[in-house]
Structure 1
């Protein structure tokens, strides 16, 4: 904690100030910025590799992988980086910026606060193939999700809690259209999806199986509030993605969900904070490992 206290004492204040100013005006940006932290840490650890552009020698970086094509907020991170470079050049890493921005965005939305130790350094490698293999997918079953989390040192409780970030998320129709139109290839609906919810999605949101533009709230009616509503929907068979619904297929994850619903929202906040702190420590580079990128999309030199 306080890694920049001596060489850039205003660093965290600058990040928080920018986040408060902009997230207050555009709260829908909080979820993408939180998602960016998740997508960064699950590939090569929390080293800002998700921000790197493709190059002549590496024609498909992480951001070019299909799961990352819908990521938003790169310009936001660049703006924060430019402010920090003006204040103290070559000091604050892009990796730390991602982690701080994610936390401050959630707090600005009225969500939980968590500790963000700083001193991460930036990676120099970014491969689309690694994003494809490491990132949990919207249509994966419980075992696949559990395995990917375990590889990052995260357990079933962390899986359930970090999935709770979907309380402020939105999605396009394409990741779940098969659940409402063609689940097993014969024009059927996913039996794990509430029928009334599926009918509503077809009638009012994703009106064709090929819709790729319509936006749907992950947590309908509560997508601007960081709360327990996501979990209430899960037990009603109204999780939007298959990866949401599958959290109710395992006894251990169901136990975590029930515990969250039985206790106060403050318990959820505290436990979510613990899981975010664990995730923020995945595969970090420190000391002389990596570098402090001058521009977040480019490796130095």
Structure 2
């Protein structure tokens, strides 16, 4: 999802299967009936103070689900000799963890020991999209929190330098299709990319070309002005699309114009199936939203690794 840091990714043989039947939209109906509104309030308050919160929460949920399933392992702190996921290279720029902490604190006051941090994160990601002008949906609940979080496993996350074959393999290992890949990539409609995540496209692209020829020339020039060669400006970068705080289909329109940010975005135009989906979503925001909701529910239902309900989202019970 948004602004994933560039890392070398080791493709593993681990396979994740969505366990949709284990989840239920009414899971807390009797034990914590106001869970949705409590989480939504936390996300809303944070967003009023910081417009980058929605993109951060959406990306956080994606990064959580791609490692050991949606078990809130991305929220755990490093302890002792164990370096946790949030301290792995692709996750260093993750932020807004406090939003989940605040929601958890509020929930513990009304229904202690009931709602998992993994469910809070899934709900917060939905609320982030809705608050940004995107669709809403009923989030299946009942996830458990995992006890294992390892920075080394973040190498399994799809990198912004991936080609279509690497993307397809990474997604298929999690039972996610090419349509899921294109729909979830639309999450790049929100957020910010650091120069390190796309400098491969604007400097020394190949032995013969300095700039990726698939980039619109004027757009490439603007990126090079923001991120000059050997850039030393801390946190320099650019928005992922022209409306970085609004959930819309501008990402796909810009992609077709040669104005994508990551190599992994451009890769969607190198396969006939994914290219057709990009065109469809660019033409119809309704089709994009429908596909995005379907894929988000599918991805967030990968629940392999959870075992408990944490009292503090940052530490195992």
1:118 aligns with 2:141: yes
Q: Say whether the 8 Å CA contact 1:47–1:95 is kept in structure 2.
A: yes
| Structure 1 Cα separation of the partners of residues 132 and 49 of structure 2 | 11
Deviates more, 1:72-81 or 1:35-44: 72-81
Q: Give the deviation of 1:185 after TM superposition.
A: 5.6
1:13 equivalent in structure 2: 37
Structural mapping, 1:1-301, within 5 Å? 1-58=25-82, 60-132=83-155, 134-184=156-206, 188-203=210-225, 205-211=226-232, 212-220=234-242, 222-263=243-284, 265-284=285-304, 290-300=307-317
How far the C-alpha of 1:210 sits from its partner, in A, is: 2.7
TM-score, normalised to structure 1, is 0.93
Which piece of structure 1 moves more, 173-182 or 92-101? 173-182
User: Which shows bigger deviation, 175-184 or 240-249?
Assistant: 175-184
Q: Distance in 2 between matches of 1:56 and 1:261?
A: 48
- Preserved CA contact (<8 Å) 2:42 2:99: no
Structure ranking higher on relative contact order (CA contacts 8 Å, 6+ apart): 2
Query: Alpha-carbon deviation of 1:298?
Result: 0.5
Determine the C-alpha separation between the residues in 1 that align with 2:276 and 2:37: 39
Aligned length: 292
Contiguous gaps of at least 5 residues in structure 1:
none
For 1:117-154, what per-residue CA distance to the aligned partner results, in whole angstroms no more than 9, with x for missing partners? 1110000001111111x200011111001100001110
Preserved contact between residue 174 and residue 210 of structure 1 (Cα < 8 Å)? no
Q: Over aligned residue pairs, what C-alpha RMSD do you find?
A: 1.5
- Report if the CA contact (8 A) 1:138-1:241 is conserved: yes
Tell me: CA distance 1:119–1:283, structure 2 relative to 1, closer, same or farther (3 Å): closer
- Normalised to the residue count of structure 2, the TM-score between the two structures is 0.88
